[in-house]
Each structure stands twice: as C-alpha cells, then as structure tokens.
Amino acid sequence: MTFVLSSSIERLKEKIRTIPDFPRPGVMFKDITPVIGEGQFFRLILTIFISRYQKKKIDKIAAIDARGFIFAGALAHALGVGIIPIRKKGKLPYKTYELSYKNEYGEETLTIHQDAINKGESILIVDDVLATGNTAHTAALLVEKCGGNLMELGFLAELSYLKGRERLFPFPCYSILQF
Ligand SMILES: O=P(O)(O)OC[C@H]1O[C@H](OP(=O)(O)OP(=O)(O)O)[C@H](O)[C@@H]1O
Ligand SMILES: Nc1ncnc2[nH]cnc12
C-alpha cells in the first residue's frame, strides 16, 4: 500500500512542469496545470489532504488567491467546513485587513474580511506552492489578526531551495511534494 502511494506521488511530482524564466528571468516556475487537468491526479492530491486533515479540529479553511482556491474549495467541501478567501487587494467588498509582501517574482498585497473568523477558531491555510514563504506568512498573520488559531499551512508543492518552511517557522507546515 505504501509502495503504491509512493509511486503515485512520484508520478504526481513528474507531472508538475518546470517553466524556466517565467514570469521573470531566473524563476523556475512550477506549473501545476498538468496535474489539476487530470482527474486521477487531482483526486490523489485531495485524498492525501483529506486523510491528513479529516480527524483534525478545523473550523475553516483559509484559501490563498488564486491557485490556492483550486484545492481549498474541494477540501472544504470534503471536510464539511467553511472557506475564507484571502484575496489580492481590491477584490474583497467589505471591511478588510491588509498586508503587503514580496514573493519570488513581485510585490503584492493580501486582504481578508475583518469578520471572516470568529475569535479562537481553528484555521487551516491552503495554497498550491510554498516558494519563499512570504505569501503564506502574510496569510498567517492576517488569520491571526482576525483572531484565528492557525492549525497548519498545507501545500501541494514546496520549493525547498527557497527555504519557505524556515520563513514560516514556528507555524506548522505540511507539503505533499518537495522539490
Ligand atoms: O512563497 P512565495 O514566494 O510567497 O510564493 C508563493 C505564492 O506565489 C504563487 O501565487 P501568485 O502570487 O503567483 O498568485 P496566483 O496564485 O494568482 O498565480 C503561489 O500560488 C503562492 O501563493
Ligand atoms: N517558482 C514558482 N513556481 C510556481 N509558483 C510560484 N510562486 C512563487 N514562486 C513560484
């Protein structure tokens, strides 16, 4: 069983395409579209996330704009919990908290609705890629600003050479794949 799972994970990893110099020279962009485009791989990712999180106390999933939405929505459905969008600036209509940061290839601002989380709720953050960790770290700070307890950050793929896990310390973090 373990062997079957590890060979499937290897196939999943091989399916992620590396595009050099996108969107800027020097960036090795991990393109997840080939995996989400095939049902067997998308389901495998969800199965792994579900098995990790189904027994944990999670009140809501916070999803990072935009690729995080792909996994977070499906996972929230499977776990029967709500979903909170953490969006790029200018997209959320109500009162927000906002924080700016730099990721591997640019500057961004993330926002969250001020009333998205009830004090003390247990929150899982989900995104596709952990690169420098600055995006996820910003999302974690926004969750805390809203009064949430961050249970974990979960990613499909971690670019270990960019040391995002260190950036996120001491927040707990999990990734299905490591590059
Ligand atoms: O660890 P970091 O260096 O901060 O980078 C990781 C973030 O970069 C990507 O998002 P991007 O801002 O490209 O937005 P997108 O999901 O809309 O493509 C990715 O989906 C993560 O959210
Ligand atoms: N190298 C990379 N590939 C895919 N998404 C990213 N987000 C930040 N850096 C990235």
- pLDDT, tens digit, 9 for 90 and up, residues 30-82: 999 999 999 999 999 999 999 999 999 999 999 999 999 999 999 999 999 99
Question: Does position 6 have pLDDT exceeding 90, yes or no?
Answer: no
Say which ligand is closest to the CA of 24. 2
What's the gap in Å between 23 CA and the centre of ligand 2? Answer: 9
Q: Is 177 in the pocket of ligand 2 (CB under 6 A)?
A: no
What is the pLDDT averaged over residues 77-94?
98
| Nearest Cα residue to 64 out of 75, 72, 52 | 72
Q: What is the CATH number of the domain that holds 60?
A: 3.40.50.2020
Ligand 2: residue of 17, 29, 130 to mutate (most ligand atoms within 8 A of CB) is 29
Do the beta carbons of residue 137 and residue 168 sit within 8 Å? yes
Distance CA 18, CA 84 (A): 30
3-state secondary structure of 6: helix
Q: Is 64 in the pocket of ligand 2 (CB under 6 A)?
A: no
Residue 26 phi/psi, 5° resolution?
Answer: 95, -15
Do the beta carbons of residue 13 and residue 48 sit within 8 Å? no
Question: Does position 2 have pLDDT exceeding 80, yes or no?
Answer: no
Q: Is 60 in the pocket of ligand 2 (CB under 6 A)?
A: no
Q: How many distinct structural domains can be found in the chain?
A: 1
Give kind and range of the element (H or E) at residue 140.
helix 134-145
Q: What is the DSSP string of 13-51?
A: HHHSEEEET-SSTT-EEEE-HHHHTSHHHHHHHHHHHHH
Q: Is 132 in the pocket of ligand 1 (CB under 6 A)?
A: yes
Range(s) of the domain holding residue 161? 2-178
Q: What 8-state DSSP symbol labels residue 2?
A: H
Question: Does position 140 have pLDDT exceeding 80, yes or no?
Answer: yes
pLDDT band of residue 1 (cuts 50, 70, 90) is low
pTM of the model: 0.97
